[in-house]
Structure formats: C-alpha cells, structure tokens
Amino acid sequence: MVLEFRGQGYAVIADVLTPDRVAQLRAEAGELISQFTDLGHRSDDYWSFQRPDRPDPVLYRIHNLERQGANTLADLHRGGELHGLAESILGLSVRSTACALIVKMPQVAARVPWHRDRTAAPPHTVCNLSVFLDDSTMDSGCLEFVPQSHLLPDDVDVDQVRAYGPVRAVPANAGDVLVHDVRVVHSSRPNGTSVIRRSIVIEFAPHDFVLPGVAQ
Ligand code: NI
C-alpha cells in the first residue's frame, strides 16, 4: 500500500473502520448536515453552491469539522487510528492540518473540478485521508485520479494532465480509507443516485513541516 501510494499517488486501504464506528460517524454527520438542510443554519464553514434548476443551495463541504461540536468526528482529527495510518504511510511523525466533511447530495452534487490540493510540498510528504461513511461508486461520486501526476512539476497545467490521462476512477466502500498525495491531479464525480455519499477528509503533514496557511 505504501509503495502504491508513492508510485501512483493514491491507494485504498479497505475496512479501516468497523461498521459500528461508521454508524456512529454517520449519525453525527447526518445531524450536522440536517442543520443546513432542515434548520437553515449558515456559516463560513458550510460551503454550498447554487444550481440554476433548484431554489435551495446545495451543501458540498463542512470545513473545520473539528470545531462543529460533533465529538466522534472531532476525535478523528485529534488523534487515534488515522494518525497511526498516516504515520505508517509517510514514515514520519505527523499532525493533522485540515479536516472537513465532504457531502455529495443525492442527484444534485456536481463534479468537483480537476485540481491538485497543494504543490507547496514535495511528493510523498503531505497526504489526505478520505474516510468513507457511504459506499463511493462510479454513480455516487467516487474520486478520480491521474496516476503518477504527483511526481509532475509544480506548474503543470492540470487540464492538460487530465486530457493526456490516463484517468482512473477509484470506488471505495463505507469504512475504507483512500489516501492521496496532495500533489496528485484529481477530481470527484457527480452523484446521480438517490443516496447521499459522505466522506471525512483529513490532511496530514510531518510535525516539523511548515505548510502555507496552517499554524504550527
Ligand atoms: Ni482535492
């Protein structure tokens, strides 16, 4: 798995979380989401977009997840099994530098444009772990990658890289973790199904590595 991460820029680790733990996280995620969809809560941490064919904004990300008052979700950011996993992948002592809930609302979630999360870090230095709370399929918005694109220079044109390809869709099941290098060119598909697709994304960086915009 570490070799695959270093070589391709991403890897899936199956069955990291037990079904019980996934259920607990789902319950908390559901409460946070319903604050937006049912109770009209709005804040700078709740990111949404407007569709021309819908009256209501479509939620796609709850940023600063560790500060939203949901304890089990916040624990993933603070420490525990994901930190251990990130340390075994990067081979260094790490800290979590960002945490968010990604929400692919049924039928209305759009494709996330092709991008790299960061280039201000060498390959194999900073990674994102995506913890899936629901199955992530071709139809419900799974991630897509250009393999080995984390090794490309900082200034490559992302759209050209994607056009040259190859593009690999990477489905995953609830409880799985998908790790990717923050430099890899990636996207996620729209959700055309009637089922929500949620994941928690946590960024990990070495303890002593200075990331722009992140307090030490
Ligand atoms: Ni990304």
The answer to whether 61 and 103 are in contact (CB under 8 A) is yes
Q: What is the pLDDT of residue 70?
A: 87
pLDDT value of position 165: 94
* Pairing mode of beta strands 177-181, 94-104: unpaired
Average pLDDT over residues 141-152: 98
Confidence label for 169 from pLDDT (cuts 50, 70 and 90): very high
| Percent of the chain scoring above 90 in pLDDT | 88
- Write out the two tokens for 212: 């722009």
Q: If you measure from the C-alpha of residue 157 to the centroid of ligand 1, how many angstroms do you get, rounded to a whole number?
A: 16
For residue range 176-187, what is the model confidence (pLDDT) as tens digits?
999 999 999 999
Residue 30 alpha carbon to ligand 1 centre in Å: 22
Chain mean pLDDT for the chain: 94
Give the Å distance between the CA of 126 and the centre of ligand 1: 12
Q: What confidence score (pLDDT) does residue 51 get?
A: 93
CA 150, CA 10: separation in Å to the nearest integer? 9
CA distance 135 to 197: 7
Q: Is 200 helix (H, G, I), strand (E, B) or coil?
A: strand
Closest CA relative to residue 77, chosen from 92, 93, 64: 64
What separation in Å is there between the alpha carbon of 198 and the centre of ligand 1? 14
Residues 6+ apart with CB under 8 A from 134: 26, 140, 174, 195, 196, 197, 198, 199
ω into 190 cis (within 30 of 0): no
Q: Which residues of 26-39 are buried (b: 16+ CB within 10 A; e: fewer)?
A: bebbeebbebbbee
Confidence of residue 164 (pLDDT cuts 50, 70, 90): very high
Model confidence band, residue 192 (pLDDT cutoffs 50, 70, 90)? very high
CA of 60 from ligand 1 middle (Å) equals 13
**pLDDT score, position 72:** 87
Residue 37 near residue 27, CB atoms below 8 Å = no
- The pLDDT tens digits for 66-121 are 999 888 888 888 888 899 999 999 999 999 999 999 999 999 999 999 999 999 99
| Helix locations, 91-212, DSSP H | 158-164
Structure token digits, residue 124: 């194999």
| pLDDT score of 15 more than 70 | yes
What's the pLDDT at 216? 58
How far apart, in whole angstroms, are the C-alpha atoms of residue 41 and residue 38?
8
Cα of 70 to ligand 1 centre, how many Å?
A: 23
pLDDT tens column, 122-134: 999 999 999 999 9
User: Ligand 1 centre and the CA of 186: distance in Å?
Assistant: 6
Instruction: Give start and end residues of each alpha helix (H) in the chain.
Output: 2-8, 19-37, 71-78, 81-90, 158-164
Listed in sequence order, the residues at least 6 apart from 122 whose beta carbon sits closer than 8 Å to its beta carbon are none
Give the pLDDT of residue 215.
66
